[in-house]
A and B are shown apart, each in its own frame.
Chain A
Amino acid sequence: MDIVLDLVRILIFPGLLFAVLLSLFLEWLDRKIYARMQNRVGPPLRQPLWDLFKLLAKEDIVPERADPFMFTVLPVLTLAAAATAMLYIPIWGPESAYPFWGDLLVIIFLLTVPTMVLFLAGWFSANPFGAVGSFRTVIQFLSYEVPLLLAVLTPAVLAGSWSISDIVRFQQTHPWAMAAQLAALGVGLLALQGKLERVPFDAPEAETEIVAGPITEYTGRRLALFRLSTDVQMLVGAALFSNIFLAGVVGPWYLAILLFLAKIIFLVGVLAALRAMVARIRIEQMRAFSWKYLVPIAVAQMAVIVLIKVGVGV
């Protein structure tokens, strides 16, 4: 019976199927908020799903000079990594499907895989736009990864644990912790925007400059997997932040899931609003912004947290 339960968790809830459907909903929400802020109507709820089906049915082209093996493996790998991360995120209570002492680190690792895949995808597609996009992906990765890690470390240090469940329980018993790490949440959201390659940090796939960057040559179902992976990464990012920065969820499972949804909707709303309000910055401006502002803020936040920890003695 255990293996059946595992399979259900991995493939249906909270794994692949749940992650895909919820992330498509978030994509719709993101597009709708973005559109409303631009004085447009925006897509109907079913649009992301229809887009996915459309791409799945489209012609699948592998360029002659591209590496066919990598071209096939990479899209699967990126979605698999992102969807796997969902297994370690608490949704219906403080505990995830597979809680253990280091699940926070596993999620960070699993979120890094899609970025590396993106680099390889551009590299192996033998396309100048893909190559430029790959370089930019790596430069951007080196820019946001440090502030993102520092931001995610902050609640872990405060709670004194690598376990998401412990962090959530700590914040539920010490609600002031959420206010103490507000700056880390801000840095984390900006870094997440960079990880997801959204405006203003979308230089790696800037449409008007390099077409689609690393995924320029991808079509059909491979492209669908890449897009789906981005959606799932956004879901994982928002879900992770709702746990480690916003104290997760409490109560009976049905109320808990509603609370979980409310928190990720709020976080995705912030990301969508940010995307609508600014222009794209260049890659070297992104690097400067990250190291001049995000990193110092994250370090200062960490120092404050350490002082609080010593002072209050939690």
Chain B
Amino acid sequence: MTKYNLPVGPQHPALKEPASFWFKVEGEVIVDVDIRLGYNHRGIEKACESRNYIQCLYLLERICGICSHAHTTAFAQGVEEILGLEIPARAKYIRVIIAELERIHSHLLWLGVAGHEIGFDTLFMYAWRDRETVLDILELISGNRVNYAMNTIGGVRRDIDQAKREQILGMLDPLAERVKFYTDLVTSEPTCLARLENVAPVPADKAVALGTVGPTARASGIKVDVRRDDPYAAYAEIPFEVITSERGDLLGRAIVRLGEIGESVKIIKYALQNLPEGPLTVKAPRKVAAGEAVSRVEAPRGEDIHYVRADGSDHPERVKVRAPTLANLFAVGESMKGAYVADIPIVIASIDPCFSCTDRMIELVQSRTGTSSVMTWEELREYGIRWYGHGHRS
């Protein structure tokens, strides 16, 4: 068979965000893949350094439209650790409720996208319709559908009162029913099985070696979950199961995510019924004494790590974000080898990639010579003036 290169991205219908995959293909079989990221770099980490801690919170919330609460929770926890703040119990529970609602909304969104990638648009439409329930609940609590702005340094900004609690509990059960239906559908519908079963499997040892996290790791039988391993917020007090699957293939990832929705519903119910009384926030100072902290949060896609270094002023000296997609991407590259061209979209989608979360830095490489260099701001400015001044672009 002839070998050829198949470019997927930076712009491609399968990708919801720009990223570039160069596939070496033999007939319909993938031989090798070269992944290039960085198209979504927005300089958020750098921008944090010139904003105060509260402003950073709202900027970091916009790293990602789906796991926005995970990023603010990680950042707030890091700052609270440096400050030595213990947030009120009620705030911890509310953080958990929002985080789990976010997990449901993220996993249902993933289910829809996965359906679309395997050409099952009906599943896509149904999953996204039912996802509206979660978005309605989030809007009920926070007034927003995606960027909820619930976290603040030292607690949460909005309460969940008794009336809202009852309303939310009533909305959760129909949702759990729908999720059962989807689990049945994905595990029994012949064309779904044909596209998911035994496709691009990642065995447990490889999943560890490649550093996978979150549902991707749990689908390979690795029982790893920050909520259980290093409990934050109120997770130590709330009973829940860590869903795993031994399959390692795409079907395993679907089963894990759908199972996690069920667990999330249980966690939310428990948290709503056992919501402790008390204040929502403790007072946090504007300036943070010198120190550093690493904070970990189980985002819907896996472990999200934030590093914060304070220097005594009212803005952080350095913020670093390691989103789960970066950890999972290598497993995609590896498991893709030997798969079919037709599997490309669903294998990429199976880790639920979020490139806007992942693209924290870019390195400009001359494609012809392969050399790269670091430019100072002044040099970059000069370069820009030269480029436009000489009429390369009009």
Instruction: Give A residues with C-beta under 8 Å from B.
Output: 37-40, 128-129, 131-132, 135, 199-200, 202-203, 206-211, 276-285
Count A/B pairs, Cβ under 8 Å.
Answer: 82
Interface contact A281-B191, CB-CB below 8 Å: yes
Binding site for A on B (CB under 8 A): 4-7, 12-14, 25, 27-28, 115-123, 125-126, 129, 189-192, 194-195, 340-345
Check if A282 sits within 8 Å of B122, measured CB to CB. no
In whole angstroms, how far apart are the Cα atoms of A39 and B132 in the complex?
Answer: 13
Q: Quick check: A277 and B194 within 8 Å, CB to CB? A: no
A39-B125, A283-B342 known; 14 other A-B pairs, CB under 8 Å? Answer: A38-B126, A128-B4, A132-B6, A132-B28, A135-B27, A206-B119, A209-B14, A209-B342, A278-B120, A279-B120, A279-B192, A280-B191, A282-B340, A283-B28
Give Cα A39 to B127, complex, Å: 11
A–B pairs, 9, beta carbons within 8 Å: A128-B4, A129-B6, A206-B342, A209-B342, A276-B121, A276-B122, A278-B190, A279-B195, A280-B342
Closest to A131 in B: B4
Given A131-B4, A132-B341, A280-B195, decide whether A38 and B13 contact each other with a Cβ distance below 8 A. no
Interface residue from A37, A128, A209, A277 paired with B7 (Cβ < 8 Å) = A128
**B189 contacts across to A, CB distance below 8 A:** 278-279
Q: Whole-angstrom distance between the alpha carbons of A280 and B122 in the complex?
A: 11
Closest CB in chain B relative to A125 CB, distance in Å: 15
Of chain B, the residue at the smallest CB distance from A277 is B122
Given A38-B125, A38-B126, decide whether A209 and B341 contact each other with a Cβ distance below 8 A.
Answer: yes
Can you list the 10 inter-chain pairs with the closest CB atoms, starting with the nearest?
A: A280-B119, A279-B120, A38-B125, A279-B191, A208-B345, A208-B14, A282-B342, A278-B191, A279-B118, A38-B122
Most interface-central of A37, A210, A285 (chain B CB within 10 A): A210
Q: How far is the CA of A141 from the CA of B180 in the complex (A)?
A: 39
Chain B residue at minimum C-beta to C-beta distance from A35 = B125
Contact indicator B194/A282 (Cβ below 8 Å): yes
Q: Is the CB of A281 within 8 A of B7?
A: no
Residues of A within 8 A of B342 (CB): 203, 206, 209, 280, 282-283
CB distance from A191 to the nearest CB of B (A): 17
**What's the Cα separation between A277 and B117 when bound, in Å?**
15
Q: Are B194 and A281 touching (Cβ within 8 A)?
A: yes
- Would you call B119 and A200 a contact (CB within 8 A)? yes
Residues of B within 8 Å of A203, CB to CB, are 342
A15: shortest Cβ distance to chain B, in Å?
34
Measured in the bound complex, the distance between the Cα atoms of B194 and A203 in whole Å is 14
Looking at the assembled complex, report how far the CB atom of B383 sits from the nearest CB atom of chain A, in whole angstroms: 30
Contact in complex: A279, B123 (CB < 8 Å): yes
Q: Contact at B12–A211, with CB atoms within 8 Å?
A: yes
Contact A128 B5 (CB under 8 A): yes
**Cα-based distance from A209 to B191 in the complex (angstroms):** 17
Contact of B117 among A40, A208, A210, A281 (CB under 8 A): A208
B116 A208 Cβ-Cβ under 8 A: yes
**Contact: A211 with B191, CB < 8 Å?**
no
Chain A residue with the shortest CB-CB distance to B126: A39
Q: How far is the CA of A37 from the CA of B120 in the complex (A)?
A: 12
Minimum C-beta distance from B275 to chain A (A):
34
Nearest CB in chain A: distance from B116 CB, A: 7
Contacts of A207 in B (CB 8 A): 13, 119
Name the residue of chain A whose CB is nearest to the CB of B2.
A131
Distance in angstroms between the alpha carbons of A128 and B342 in the assembled complex: 14
Partner of B121, one of A38, A129, A209: A38
